Chain A
Amino acid sequence: MKKRYVLRFSPEVVNRPIVSDIIKAFNISVNIMNADISSGRAGMLVVELDGSEEALEHSVEYLQRHGVDCSPHVKELVFDQEKCVDCGSCTSVCFSGALVMNRESWELEYHADSCVVCGLCVEACPLRLFTITRGAAS
């Protein structure tokens, strides 16, 4: 099975190879969708973990035990869709397939599963309808 998470970690954890740790320990594959990491400051990774259900559970446990905050990524981006006017501005910066214009109805389609939490839509929406919760909603 595949599951996406947003991982957040402190500057101490940044210097440790946590991703390769879980790959080796639990025989899963990790697809990094988005990353914002540099030594000496907190890091953020959006990953898709692929493996057995048990292996994914163990991976998340392992990460949490080592000080990594794991949040299911679908809860990360909050979209106040009711107020949306379907202008399409957000689709100009969304390359993950999460925000797509339906070219028949010209309605904005929001596919939360495809989101990689890059955050570009937050700034691109002229009505400011997107927020990244930093795991607060989870």
Chain B
Amino acid sequence: MSVTKSIEEINQKISNGEAVVVTAEEVSTMARSMTAAQIAERVDVVTTATFGPMCSSGAFLNFGHYSPPIRMEEIYLNDVPVSGGLAAVDTYIGATSESRFDHTYGGAHIIEELIAGNDIKLKARAKGTDCYPTKEVETTINKESVNEFYLYNPRNAYQNYGVAVNTKSHTIYTYMGTLLPNLGNATYSTSGELSPLLNDPAMRTIGIGTRIFLCGTQGYVSWYGTQFNTSKPVNEYGIPTSNAATLAVIGDAKEMSTEYLKAAYFEKYGVTMFVGIGIPIPMLDEQIAQACMISNAQIDTSVIDYSEPDKPVLTMVNYEQLHSGTIEIDGKSIKTAPLSSMKKARKIAQELKDWIDRGEFYLSTPVQQFPNHTTVQNLKQR
């Protein structure tokens, strides 16, 4: 008879210190000598993780009221423009927003520095109203002086992502890094068999409300991510072979660590942010075990030409090939390089495992599952 477990049963085991927690890489290794049924029986939780540049990220922040009050309309933090359209003293710091004076410094740096405890220069301007008479404020803030400061990332943890190459005769600079001419290199950005949404591709256990590891603290999946697409072609293992589902995530930035959140600048592209996410997958049954057994050789992805405006797909490769350091396109051997850190992803998967082992982290049932027939539309001229 096949094994089934409930999240409550798994949490009870965690509480008793009896839960068997392994990382997704460990499950992929176990899969060489064990069946799905055996793994479902043996393992209770599988930890997955990723640490990569995720542009659609940012943080909400409440400065606290000034006296006399100001309804901030134009706001800068260390000269980086942040959102001024949120009542009087709320703002949203978009990770990719760039300083007026230094395009290599932006919202991601503000978020990282605030987490580190640094002081940040605030400049705000308003028209002045009867109830908010102050027109200008210039002061210094830090994470202790503000009220709420929480990360809210609209689109993270892409389920698979294409490999970037350049077929033109000149170098191009992209969010996938420096792409050398004439297929001079290939870059990719997922943690493969360790990646969260590749271990539960149907998202049976991950949904709205799922408790996760977010940049060093406990956070939550708040919604499905923007550009959430469940209609992408899948391979024989049910893995979408290009960018598909995404997650919106939320967590208390005051509790986060700069070890797992890093501001970055991609040459001639702009500012972005490395985000560390870990997601536990409860071993509910054999089907979940089967999904977690996925290995790099079974995860295919598309090789995309970033030098063409409509980004055509040139060929397909798998993560075992990408991880080997070279792939072949049209008989040419091309050097591959990751943009997301496997080392950090492993550290996150291990840390999440440690939290669960110590009974500091419990699994959650999604409050609601994600939609399952979504597509993505393009912006059209009309």
Say yes or no: is A39 at the interface (Cβ < 8 Å to chain B): no
Give bound CA distance, A123 to B187, whole Å: 15
- Partner among B177, B335, B346 whose Cβ is within 8 Å of the Cβ of A95: B335
- Partner among A88, A93, A120, A124 whose Cβ is within 8 Å of the Cβ of B341: A88
With both chains docked as a complex, state the minimum distance between the C-beta of B188 and any C-beta of chain A, in angstroms. 9
Question: Which residues of chain A from 88 to 127 have a CB within 8 Å of any chain B CB?
Answer: 88-93, 95, 101, 103, 105-107, 120, 123-124, 126-127
| CB atoms of A128 and B265 under 8 A apart | yes
- Partner among B51, B185, B265 whose Cβ is within 8 Å of the Cβ of A126: B265
Say yes or no: is B122 at the interface (Cβ < 8 Å to chain A): no
Contacts of B338 in A (CB 8 A): 87-89, 101, 106
Say yes or no: is A21 at the interface (Cβ < 8 Å to chain B): no
| CB atoms of B342 and A86 under 8 A apart | yes
Say yes or no: is A85 at the interface (Cβ < 8 Å to chain B): yes
- Partner among A92, A123, A126, A128 whose Cβ is within 8 Å of the Cβ of B337: A92
Interface size on A, residues (CB 8 A): 21
Give bound CA distance, A120 to B343, whole Å: 23
With both chains docked as a complex, state the minimum distance between the C-beta of A77 and any C-beta of chain B, in angstroms. 16
Contacts of B178 in A (CB 8 A): 89, 92-93, 120, 123-124
Give bound CA distance, A103 to B344, whole Å: 14
Give bound CA distance, A14 to B38, whole Å: 71
With both chains docked as a complex, state the minimum distance between the C-beta of A101 and any C-beta of chain B, in angstroms. 7
Give bound CA distance, A2 to B338, whole Å: 33
| CB atoms of B339 and A88 under 8 A apart | yes
Give bound CA distance, A128 to B272, whole Å: 13
Most buried by A among B324, B340, B342: B342
| CB atoms of A86 and B335 under 8 A apart | no
Contacts of A124 in B (CB 8 A): 177-178, 267
Contacts of B17 in A (CB 8 A): none
Say yes or no: is B262 at the interface (Cβ < 8 Å to chain A): yes
Give bound CA distance, A74 to B265, whole Å: 26
Contacts of B264 in A (CB 8 A): 126-127
Give bound CA distance, A63 to B342, whole Å: 45
| CB atoms of B187 and A87 under 8 A apart | no
Say yes or no: is B325 at the interface (Cβ < 8 Å to chain A): yes
Chain A: CB-nearest residue to B164: A92
What number of A-B contacts does a CB cutoff of 8 Å give?
80
Give bound CA distance, A88 to B344, whole Å: 11
Chain B: CB-nearest residue to A127: B264
| CB atoms of B180 and A93 under 8 A apart | yes
Contacts of A88 in B (CB 8 A): 337-339, 341-342
Contacts of A87 in B (CB 8 A): 51-53, 274, 338-341
| CB atoms of A89 and B344 under 8 A apart | no
- Given A93-B180, A124-B178, A86 contacting B265 (CB threshold 8 A): no
- Partner among A89, A106, A128 whose Cβ is within 8 Å of the Cβ of B339: A89
Contacts of A107 in B (CB 8 A): 343
Give bound CA distance, A126 to B95, whole Å: 14
| CB atoms of A92 and B177 under 8 A apart | yes
Q: Mark B266-283, 1 if CB is under 8 A from A, else 0.
A: 111000101000000000
Contacts of B336 in A (CB 8 A): 92
Q: Mark A69-94, 1 if CB is under 8 A from B, else 0.
A: 00000000000000001111111110
Give bound CA distance, A30 to B324, whole Å: 34
| CB atoms of B266 and A106 under 8 A apart | no
- Partner among B262, B274, B324, B346 whose Cβ is within 8 Å of the Cβ of A106: B346
| CB atoms of A86 and B337 under 8 A apart | no
- Given A85-B262, A85-B274, A86-B342, A92 contacting B324 (CB threshold 8 A): no
Say yes or no: is B369 at the interface (Cβ < 8 Å to chain A): no
| CB atoms of B346 and A91 under 8 A apart | no
Say yes or no: is B13 at the interface (Cβ < 8 Å to chain A): no
Question: Which residues of chain B from 325 to 370 have a CB within 8 Å of any chain A CB?
Answer: 325, 335-344, 346
Write 6 A-B pairs (CB below 8 A) sorted by A numbering: A85-B262, A85-B341, A89-B177, A92-B185, A101-B325, A126-B272
Pick the 9 closest A-B CB pairs, nearest first: A92-B337, A126-B264, A106-B342, A88-B338, A123-B267, A86-B343, A91-B337, A106-B343, A87-B341
Chain A residues near B (Cβ < 8 Å): 85-93, 95, 101, 103, 105-107, 120, 123-124, 126-128
